[in-house]
Amino acid sequence: MGSKIFAPKGTRDLLPDEVKAWEMVEGKIKEICKTFNYKQIRVPDFEHYALFDRGVGESTDIVSKEMYTLNHRGKDVFALKPEGTSSVIRAYIEHGMSSGITPTKLYYITSCFRSERPQKGRQRQFHQFGIEAIGSYSASMDAEVIMLVSTLFNKLGIKGLELRINSVGCPKCRSAYYEKLKEYVKPFENELCEDCRDRLNKNPMRILDCKNEHCKTLLKDAPLMVDYLCEECNEHFESVKDYLSNAEIEFVVDPKIVRGLDYYTQTAFEFVSTDLGSQGTVCGGGRYNGLVKMIGGPDTPGVGFGLGLERLMLIMEEQGLLNDLEDDEIDVYLAPVGKEASKVAFKTFKKLTDSGIKASIDVMDRSLKAQMKYANKVNTKYTAILGEDELQKGVYTLRDMRSKEQEEVNIENLFEYIKEKLGE
């Protein structure tokens, strides 16, 4: 016997009991997206490397350190997608979706991949729910996207989440801010970590997102983008706040939110939970007015978010929101004894399943006693017994597994009888 093979580090199997919880959450996601009139899109797990290099940004940790790359026959370079937005925007451009109804409102539930140290709520293969609303510059679009995810959290019953918002400006107002930031950093630039010194030349604002404690201390009094917004960006940010306040969605302004991706402009937001410790961001998003053009499409605005489903499930588990999920029930379990009875029961089994009745049948040649134990374990409502006596009489002995009452039902009539019983 060969040695055991385990799942790769940073991946995990979702077993049937967990899948039940995931399906419940995904069902709520689909229901809410339908309410807000968002359509589902499905994109490949891998893309051309250039898509993320251009869209996410070569200076980001995601592209420079965390992306899984694939070389195909020495010429094509692909990457497993580390996030969903760039892929959706690529599809939006490729399929000419800008000629359809505006705004284009899309959602996805997809696998993403990042080569990083696995930890609580963070895996190398993870799952992301995301929204992309493409085509509107209006602050009301930003507020709608935030409202959608806020509605999801409320429907799921999640407590202890705080919405934090900021504006990261636009290229016009960032240039003046970058000068002020570099001026502030200059006296201690050499004390910054290597990543921050690199970011200072490529995307200076991202040094405010550094997790290094020494850098955090050095930058605690750094100038903030929100104080250098141009008139247009400031007006947009005030409008977003007004829309959220009018909708009674609570938020706090956090001027240090910059998000980790280069494509963000103006609104940036996060929903943060205290239940996940240092990895407290459950959902992050914002506006990306330059991304469509950056990837090769027309100059088109957009706003969206990405939500890590592993982190969401972790919070729900810790808050006891997955404890009361209903056990899966089988409507009827067919318990034949002997080869001839098994053939007859199998015909009934097909009739039941064809009509959508949840049914199961013995496939282990168990004794009747063992089958009754199994029927209890799998939580069946009715058990239809077909032994030698029943076969001769042309009936099933139908047992109600809750009341323990039994009755005889003609073999040919079982389907209709069960249907009638389930309709009660």
Domain boundary pick from 270, 292, 318: 318
Q: Are residues 74 and 152 in the same domain?
A: yes
> pLDDT per residue over 143-190, tens digit each?
999 999 999 999 999 999 999 999 999 988 888 888 898 899 888 888
> pLDDT per residue over 124-141, tens digit each?
999 999 999 999 999 999
Within 13 Å, how many C-alpha atoms sit on residue 188's CB side?
Answer: 15
Does 280 map to a domain?
A: yes
Domain boundary pick from 288, 318, 348: 318
CATH of the domain at 361: 3.40.50.800
Q: Are residues 271 and 343 in the same domain?
A: no
| Cα gap 391→62, rounded to integer Å | 66
Q: Are residues 312 and 345 in the same domain?
A: no
Q: Are residues 311 and 335 in the same domain?
A: no
Query: Alpha-carbon dihedral of residues 85, 89, 92, 94, nearest 10 degrees?
Result: -130
Does 22 map to a domain?
A: yes
Per-residue pLDDT of the chain (424 residues; tens, 9 = 90+): 678 999 999 999 999 989 999 999 999 999 999 999 999 999 999 999 889 887 676 656 667 678 888 887 777 789 999 999 999 999 999 999 999 999 999 999 999 999 888 887 788 999 999 999 999 999 999 999 999 999 999 999 999 999 999 999 998 888 888 889 889 988 888 888 888 888 887 778 888 878 888 888 888 889 999 999 999 999 999 999 999 999 999 999 999 887 666 678 999 999 998 765 545 889 999 999 989 998 999 999 999 999 999 999 999 998 999 987 877 889 999 999 999 999 999 999 999 999 999 999 999 999 999 999 999 999 999 999 999 999 999 999 999 999 999 999 999 999 999 999 888 5
Does 8 map to a domain?
A: no
CATH of the domain at 135: 3.30.930.10
Does 186 map to a domain?
A: no
Residues near 172 by Cβ (< 8 Å), separated by ≥ 6?
Answer: 230, 232
Query: Alpha-carbon dihedral of residues 168, 172, 175, 180, nearest 10 degrees?
Result: -60
Does 30 map to a domain?
A: yes
Does 234 map to a domain?
A: yes
Q: Are residues 81 and 155 in the same domain?
A: yes
Domain boundary pick from 285, 318, 351: 318
* Domain tally, the chain: 2
- pLDDT the model gives residue 278: 47
Q: Are residues 164 and 272 in the same domain?
A: yes
SS (H, E, C) 137-154: CCHHHHHHHHHHHHHHHH
> pLDDT per residue over 94-114, tens digit each?
999 999 999 999 999 999 999
Does 240 map to a domain?
A: yes
Range of the domain at 408: 330-422
Q: Are residues 147 and 294 in the same domain?
A: yes
